[in-house]
Structure 1
Amino acid sequence: MATESNKPSVYLTNLDEVKQVFSRFDVNGDGKISAVELVDVMKALGSDTSLDEVNRIMADIDTDCDGFISLEEFAGFCKGKSGEEDDDGGMKELQDAFELYDLNKNGLISAKELHQILSRLGESCSVDDCTNMIKSVDSDGDGYVNFEEFKKMMSNSPSK
């Protein structure tokens, strides 16, 4: 299967990863994400996203205009197939995601911050588990994930 672009993708490309993230948003398990579910997840992540903003997000992703985001629509979004003329390869979305995890806004994600966010999302993992997750992508060995390491992790690019 040929890729459509030479730019590295910062979107989820593995279908299992896409399904896992989708199921986090699909709280009631009905196979679709509603605006209410999207608002709830955004709040759980500490975002103060307005309902208007959520409705714009829904309109961008909900290609069949049924008021819900299906797994197929979500997968298309994760692969970067949006109607927007956004030529940054998803960097704004990636930066926004990074900032959700960087609770103290110091440009680094610590094991404690990762643990707090994952706990809010209902994940049961310890701070030690989070430390190990960070070690797996911490190329400079400082014990934190910076934005460059986060980009590599999200794009599944090999460390250089």
Structure 2
Amino acid sequence: MSPNENSNVVTKPSMYLQDMSEVEKVFQRFDTNGDGKISSDELSGVMHALGSTTSPDEISRMMEEIDSDKDGFINLQEFADFCKADTGDGGVGELKEAFEMYDEDGDGAISIGELHLILTRLGEDCTLQDCEKMIKSVDADGDGSVSFAEFKQMMTNNKK
């Protein structure tokens, strides 16, 4: 990602969360110590695990935007509200950004190895075989990897 001149704009989550149980699962992934709130350190840690070089200033801006009650933490309701926010472009830009984080080698496809690497960084206990099953479940053209079109199809769940 290249630095943006208009760096006061905070990007929305790079996924479409279809229901509250999905929101809770993602929230729990960010809430690494399990205290029911996301600190700036936890947010920074997840961003780093995803391969983002988010600066401390950017983390602060993200916290300010999401932390509506200004207690210094993001609670589940604030996170859910943020996930529901309209991005204006139908989320395509955010999806592309998420895809690029998984596509470590920049070849335009997410391989089994790349998926395994990212999930391992995020603390998931999964095998290469688990990742292969995940890839196969969305690999429409059968090439053994996930293209952006397949990723978009999976993440948007056919919704516009």
TM-score bin (small chain): 0.7 to 0.9
Matched, 1:29 2:34: yes
| Equivalent position of 1:7 in the other structure | none
| Equivalent position of 1:14 in the other structure | 19
Matched, 1:49 2:54: yes
Counterpart contact for 1:138–1:149, Cα < 8 Å: yes
Counterpart contact for 1:11–1:80, Cα < 8 Å: no
2:79 maps to amino acid: F
The CA RMSD over aligned residues, in Å, is 1.5
Unaligned runs of 5+ in 1: 1-9
Q: Distance in 1 between matches of 2:60 and 2:92?
A: 21
Could you tell me the percent identity over the aligned residues?
60
1:142 maps to amino acid: D
1:156 maps to amino acid: N
3-state SS, counterpart of residue 136 of structure 1: helix
Q: Distance in 2 between matches of 1:49 and 1:115?
A: 22
Q: Distance in 2 between matches of 1:77 and 1:121?
A: 21
Unaligned runs of 5+ in 2: 1-14
| Equivalent position of 2:9 in the other structure | none
Once the two structures are TM-superposed, the CA of residue 92 in structure 1 deviates from its matched residue by 2.1
Number of matched pairs: 145
Matched, 1:137 2:142: no
Once the two structures are TM-superposed, the CA of residue 91 in structure 1 deviates from its matched residue by 2.1
Once the two structures are TM-superposed, the CA of residue 157 in structure 1 deviates from its matched residue by 2.0
2:136 maps to amino acid: K
Counterpart contact for 1:13–1:79, Cα < 8 Å: no
Once the two structures are TM-superposed, the CA of residue 90 in structure 1 deviates from its matched residue by 2.1
Residue by residue, what CA displacement relative to the aligned partner does 1:72-111 show, whole Å, maximum 9, x if unpaired? 1111122225xxxx41122222222111111101111001
Which ranges of 4 or more aligned residues in structure 1 deviate by more than 3 Å? none
Q: Distance in 1 between matches of 2:140 and 2:79?
A: 30
TM-score under structure 1 length normalisation: 0.84
TM-score under structure 2 length normalisation: 0.84
